Amino acid sequence: MERKLLWVISSLVILILWLKIEPQGTEQAGSETLSTEPVKTEAPIKEPAQNSREAIVTEEEEAYFKSHPIDESKPDFAAIEDVQKRKAAFFGYLLPFVQEKNALLLEDRARIQTILDSPEPPSREDKTWIAALRKIHKLRKLGVYTHEDISVLLKYVDIIPASLVLAQAANESAWGTSRFALEGNNYFGQWCFTHGCGIVPNARGEDQDHEVRKFSDARESVFAYIDNLNSNSAYKELRNIRAELRENKQTITGLALVHGLENYSQRGQDYIDEIESLIDYNELWRFNVHTDEATNNE
């Protein structure tokens, strides 16, 4: 009898303890789950960064090229044995395209300044033009344009000194003799990312999909290169240097802007030093001819 009573009492004690402990165990398990499970938050969507060598020809430029045709023939630079004559031919071939592009940029700057100086609000035509410029330079679309929205364009719409253009062209195209210059009129190593848009580099890695863009002529290559420096986020520092020179009414030089090219090549500072040396050794500042009210170039 005593043994049976003890068994009943023991069973009751075990039942009471089980009822008391089990909820705590369940709660603890739940709390561990909450503390160890990472909280899932939606990551912000990031726009893909534009490649520092990406070449883009705008619709406006395509229309311009059609309405302003050029002679597409080019010198055979490799056949010119005399080094100085080859350099002279190279500079003489590309310089007119640099001057043409810079002249167009100065015209656009003048129009922007006229709009800013006018006491009247921008016309419908001006607004359409401003919207197109902002799109080209990857600035967000706006419904209403303030003075600041318009003036910011002056930082993007500006010249690239011929000394810098010619030095980079010489470096990137081996003085016009590279495969990409010969087959694709590409003098600046500019890339594209659509299959068949250009020439596949022999040294392209298996995980890469870029091609070196083909251009119809050298002018297209020069225009696309200058557009890239003026719009790509990789060259923000170059544009800052240029804007500061403008602000201080100082000369816009290739030797100054070259320090904003750190992202043009994986070689970084070594690449900058090389371009700087090309400008100095070949005295390329002598080709800078564009002037306006704000500055003289080198």
Residue with token string 């009471």: 16
- When pLDDT is cut at 50, 70 and 90, the band that residue 297 belongs to is very low
Report whether pLDDT(286) > 90: yes
Residue with token string 């739940």: 30
> What are the structure tokens assigned to 64, written together?
């311009």
Residue, of 20 and 107, whose pLDDT is higher: 107
Q: Please, what are the domains in the chain?
A: 59-67+77-287 (1.10.530.10)
**Which of helix, strand or coil describes residue 291?**
strand
pLDDT at 29: 33
pLDDT at 80: 97
Report whether pLDDT(288) > 80: yes
Paired strand residues for 291 = 296
Report whether pLDDT(48) > 60: no
- When pLDDT is cut at 50, 70 and 90, the band that residue 18 belongs to is very low
Half-sphere exposure of 181 (CA within 13 A, CB side): 22
Percentage of the chain modeled with pLDDT above 70: 77
pLDDT digits (tens, 9 = 90+) for 74-94: 999 999 999 999 999 999 999
> What are the structure tokens assigned to 83, written together?
């080094």
Order of all β-strands in the sheet with 198-199: 191-192, 211-213, 198-199
pLDDT at 191: 81
pLDDT at 143: 81
Residue, of 56 and 63, whose pLDDT is higher: 63
- When pLDDT is cut at 50, 70 and 90, the band that residue 144 belongs to is confident
- When pLDDT is cut at 50, 70 and 90, the band that residue 57 belongs to is confident
How many angstroms separate the CA atoms of 150 and 133, rounded?
A: 10
* HEC per residue, the chain: CHHHHHHHHHHHHHHHHHHHHHHHHHHHHHHHHHHHCCCCCCCCCCCCCCCCCECCCCHHHHHHHHHCCCCCCCCCHHHCCCHHHHHHHHHHHHHHHHHHHHHHHHHHHHHHHHHHHCCCCCCHHHHHHHHHHHHHCCCCCCCCCCHHHHHHHHHCCCCCCHHHHHHHHHHHHCCCCCHHHHHHCCCCCCEECCCCCEECCCCCCCCCCCEEECCCCHHHHHHHHHHHHHHCHHHHHHHHHHHHHHHCCCCCCHHHHHHHCCCCCCCCHHHHHHHHHHHHHCCHHHHCCCECCCCECC
How many angstroms separate the CA atoms of 90 and 84, rounded?
A: 10
Encoded amino acid at 234, one letter: A
pLDDT digits (tens, 9 = 90+) for 184-213: 999 999 988 777 676 877 676 666 667 889
* Residue 219 and residue 248 in contact, taking contact as beta carbons nearer than 8 Å: no
In this structure, of 69-73, 116-120, 140-144, the range with the lowest mean pLDDT score is 140-144
Identify the helix (H) or strand (E) that includes residue 246: helix 236-247
pLDDT digits (tens, 9 = 90+) for 211-269: 889 999 999 999 999 999 999 999 999 999 999 999 999 999 999 999 999 999 989 99
pLDDT digits (tens, 9 = 90+) for 119-132: 999 999 999 999 99
Model confidence pTM above 0.95 = no
What ranges in 139-216 are assigned the alpha helix state H?
147-151, 162-173, 179-184
Residue, of 48 and 193, whose pLDDT is higher: 193
Identify the helix (H) or strand (E) that includes residue 211: strand 211-213
- When pLDDT is cut at 50, 70 and 90, the band that residue 11 belongs to is low
pLDDT at 33: 28
- When pLDDT is cut at 50, 70 and 90, the band that residue 58 belongs to is confident
Residue with token string 């050794």: 281
Q: What is the mean pLDDT of the chain?
A: 82
Report whether pLDDT(103) > 70: yes
Report whether pLDDT(35) > 50: no
